[in-house]
């Protein structure tokens, strides 16, 4: 039985988007209440009846969240241009090695705007 599980994480952070044109509101320093979903996928172990413990996902991702929460994202290595797309890729690069079942990252920059990333 193939399943996909979703665990949601949140962080508060400021950023500016230097690749946007002069005068664009996103080029100015501003903040968001970011949210992102970590989606894992695989076959459920019939003996256990579950794919992975949600606590194991949390343990893998919490240290990464701490690197982002209440920081200026542009100052974090690899996020000089912290668009939703770049944040999703940055998260993938750090989560996939510690959570091999990772299937997708969804970054919500606002309540109505999201970026889906499923690796290369």
Task: Give catalytic status of residue 43 as yes or no.
Answer: no
Task: Give catalytic status of residue 89 as yes or no.
Answer: no
Distance CA 107, CA 11 (A): 11
Average pLDDT over residues 79-94: 97
How long, in residues, is the chain?
120
Which residues, listed in sequence order, are joined to residue 8 by a DSSP beta bridge?
Answer: 37
pLDDT digits (tens, 9 = 90+) for 26-47: 888 898 999 999 999 999 999 9
Average pLDDT over residues 95-120: 95
Residue 56: which domain range?
2-117
Q: Residue 120 has what pLDDT?
A: 80
Q: Is the pLDDT of residue 80 over 90?
A: yes
Q: Among 12, 24, 30, 70, which one carries the catalytic annotation?
A: 70
Task: Give catalytic status of residue 26 as yes or no.
Answer: yes
CATH number for the domain harbouring residue 103: 3.30.479.10
Q: How confident is the model at residue 10 (pLDDT cuts 50, 70, 90)?
A: very high
Distance CA 65, CA 34 (A): 11
The average confidence (pLDDT) of the chain is: 95
Q: Residue 91 has what pLDDT?
A: 98
Query: Which comes out higher in pLDDT, residue 18 or 70?
Result: 70
Count of domains forming the chain: 1
Q: Among 26, 72, 104, 115, which one carries the catalytic annotation?
A: 26
Which residues, listed in sequence order, are joined to residue 14 by a DSSP beta bridge?
Answer: 31, 72
């Amino acid at each position: 039985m193939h399943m996909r599980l979703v665990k949601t994480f949140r962080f508060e952070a400021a950023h500016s988007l230097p690749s946007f044109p002069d005068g664009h509101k996103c080029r100015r320093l501003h903040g968001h209440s970011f949210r992102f979903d970590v989606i894992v996928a695989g076959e459920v172990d019939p003996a256990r009846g579950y794919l992975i413990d949600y606590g194991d996902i949390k343990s893998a991702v919490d240290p990464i969240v701490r690197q982002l929460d209440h920081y200026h994202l542009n100052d974090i290595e690899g996020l000089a241009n912290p668009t939703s797309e770049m944040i999703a890729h940055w998260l993938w690069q750090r989560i996939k090695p510690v959570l091999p079942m990772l299937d997708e990252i969804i970054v919500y920059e606002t309540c109505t705007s999201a970026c889906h990333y499923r690796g290369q």
